[in-house]
Amino acid sequence: MQTISQYPLEYLSNEAQSLLARLVQIKPFSMTMPMVRGASVSDKAMREIIVLLEKGKTQLRENIYKFIDRINKAKKDRGNIQELQSDFTILKLRYNSILDQLDIFADVLSQRAEHEVGVWTSGLDVLAEDGLNILNGLVETPSLIVYLDRGHGAAIRRARTRLPGGDMNPVGVIQIPRERMVGSGIASSLIHEVGHQAASLLDMVSTLKKKLSEKARANPNQSAWRYFERWISEIIADVWATGHLGVASALGLMGVVTLPSYFQFRIDTKDPHPPPYVRVCLSCAFGKKFFPHTQWDKLSSLWKTFYPTHGLKAEDRSILDEIEKLTPAFIDLVIHHSTGEMKGTPLIDLFPLRKRQPADLQRLYRSWKNKQASLYDLPPSLVFAILGQAKSDLRIDAAEENHILTKLLRFWAFARN
């Protein structure tokens, strides 16, 4: 122990008081976010975010007061200044982690003040949560909130994962590329990210990895099983989108991964994403299994026309040929997979496949065009499936699609709020 002079104590006391003053300035989002009601996130999501941040602030405030009491006590007693400085550093790190959490949600909520965009993203919240509705009765599903950002791809910060500072994230936060607004393609990106959340809730990735690893060990000469194991997290998310959106999922995916040929066939064993070429081919193969129709062959053929493989190295072509050969067996393994959370239900039986067959989507589109049915009465993911099918059939152009979806996003936002 060493005697502590007054100056270091006063310094640490002032720093702690400063931290306390800055903490008071962090107001709840309900008091700071300028948005119209129709652009807001769900009441449940807002409540969970506020509880998370207020709980963190309360705990930190109590710890700062305790630290100040220790400083005051140390002015009379003997203590270790390095220990006090170390403890203050921890308080400051915790304060910064709360700010990091605040910024994560502020990115979402502050965007809701943008004209039109705020309402659109609120409507997308409804679409995102519709992508989890098939899990009702199996697991408790979290709230999901959406925001737009620049960049090529989408991303999700899943609910029930760790935030900066170690707190559990109460809601799923989905980032969507701004360039996807507004068209049916945005549903493909969005429901793909929802698929990541669903796969986590159902423990699908780790259990499928185990099965695929067993396949790889039993068939050492078939390297495709190792690739499938590496890519399964992204493939499952694509399958989730396909099961909800039909051909709209593949069309949206093609829009995202239309890249120069060099990127199409590059197999990176450290990347969880399949090469774009393989990813689209798998999407079409799963789509054909779920929704038998010649459109999948046509779409797959179109993709292969855009990106022919005849110029590849023999080794790369051999890998692609093996992946294509084993795709049917891989699909059967995935769609019949179940976990404890799924209570014995195979993956294929979770999806609303009967209501989203191409003929049914075409019939619903005709009924709507003939004013015999309303899209407003249907689940959002089904609406995107209908419009995606119409787009595939060349029944709707981009301008009309944009106009319809803009109105629907507004409707879902205001109906929810």
- Secondary structure (DSSP) of 163-187: PTTSPBP-SEEEEEEGGG-SSTHHH
* pLDDT over 90 (residue 329): yes
Pair 343, 350: CB distance under 8 Å = no
User: What average pLDDT does the structure give for the chain?
Assistant: 91
227 shares its domain with 368: yes
Residue 383 lies in a domain: yes
Residue with tokens 């200044």: 81
- Name the residue with higher pLDDT: 193 or 79: 193
pLDDT at 37: 73
76 shares its domain with 196: no
187 shares its domain with 64: no
Sort strands 144-149 and 172-177 into parallel, antiparallel or unpaired: parallel
pLDDT at 149: 83
97-113 pLDDT tens trace: 998 998 888 888 888 88
240 shares its domain with 329: yes
Please enumerate in sequence order all residues whose Cβ is within 8 A of that of 34, keeping only pairs 6 or more positions apart, or say none: 113
Distance in angstroms (rounded) separating the CA atoms of residues 210 and 232: 11
Count of CB atoms situated within 10 Å of the CB of 313: 9
Alpha-carbon Rg for the chain in angstroms: 26
pLDDT at 113: 84
Q: How far is CA 219 from CA 135, 233, 267, in A?
A: 34, 21, 20
User: pTM to 2 decimals?
Assistant: 0.90
Last residue of a domain, one of 97, 113, 129: 113
* pLDDT over 50 (residue 2): no
Mean pLDDT, rounded, for 56-62: 93
**Into how many domains does the chain fold?**
2
Distance in angstroms (rounded) separating the CA atoms of residues 401 and 414: 20
Pair 170, 162: CB distance under 8 Å = no
The one-letter amino acid at 318: S
Question: Which domain range does residue 307 map to?
Answer: 182-417
**Residue 244: CA count within 13 A, CB half-sphere:** 32
Last residue of a domain, one of 94, 113, 132: 113
Residue 77 lies in a domain: yes
Q: CA 403, 417, 185 angle in degrees (round to 5)? A: 35
Distance in angstroms (rounded) separating the CA atoms of residues 347 and 335: 5
288 shares its domain with 210: yes
Residue 395 lies in a domain: yes
327 shares its domain with 413: yes
Which percentage of the chain shows pLDDT scores above 90? 70
Mean pLDDT, rounded, for 113-125: 89
256 shares its domain with 365: yes
The one-letter amino acid at 199: A
With cut-offs at 50, 70 and 90, classify the pLDDT of residue 269.
confident
200 shares its domain with 304: yes
Q: Nearest CA to 351 among 144, 198, 203?
A: 198
